[in-house]
């Protein structure tokens, strides 16, 4: 039986550029690449097409994101598969 879990990937951007054509797509791609890198470091595979994205803007959430360079964070959540994947669960800003 194949185990599955989820983890986050992240990218950071400049809130003032969010309306530029293609800018958010570049950030999404970077967040997905970050998630894939984390998965590979754990010996896991990323399930293709299962990624979801959340954009977090400074001043737009209950949690403060003052530490985000440029005030914009893109979080990519992916499903991972492989040995031990069932123990991987994203919580808050961390992968556990």
45-78 pLDDT tens trace: 999 998 999 988 765 554 555 556 677 889 999 9
**Phi, psi at residue 67, to the nearest 5°?**
-80, -5
In 3D space, the residue among 19, 31, 30, 14 whose CA is nearest the CA of residue 75 turns out to be: 31
pLDDT greater than 90 at residue 96? no
The pTM score is: 0.85
What are the structure tokens assigned to 9, written together? 């990937």
Q: Mean per-residue pLDDT for 15-33?
A: 95
Q: Are 21 and 35 in contact (CB under 8 A)?
A: no
Euclidean distance between CA atoms 66 and 45, whole angstroms: 32
Q: How many residues does the chain have?
A: 96
Q: What is the DSSP letter of 33?
A: H
């Amino acid at each position: 039986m194949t185990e599955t879990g989820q983890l986050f990937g992240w990218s950071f951007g400049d809130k003032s550029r969010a309306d530029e054509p293609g800018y958010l797509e570049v950030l999404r791609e970077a967040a997905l690449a970050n998630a894939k890198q984390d998965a590979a470091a754990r010996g896991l595979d990323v399930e293709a097409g299962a990624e979801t994205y959340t954009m977090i803007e400074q001043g737009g959430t209950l949690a403060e994101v003052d530490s985000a360079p440029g005030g914009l964070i893109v979080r990519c959540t992916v499903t991972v598969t492989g040995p031990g994947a069932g123990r991987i669960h994203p919580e808050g800003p961390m992968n556990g």
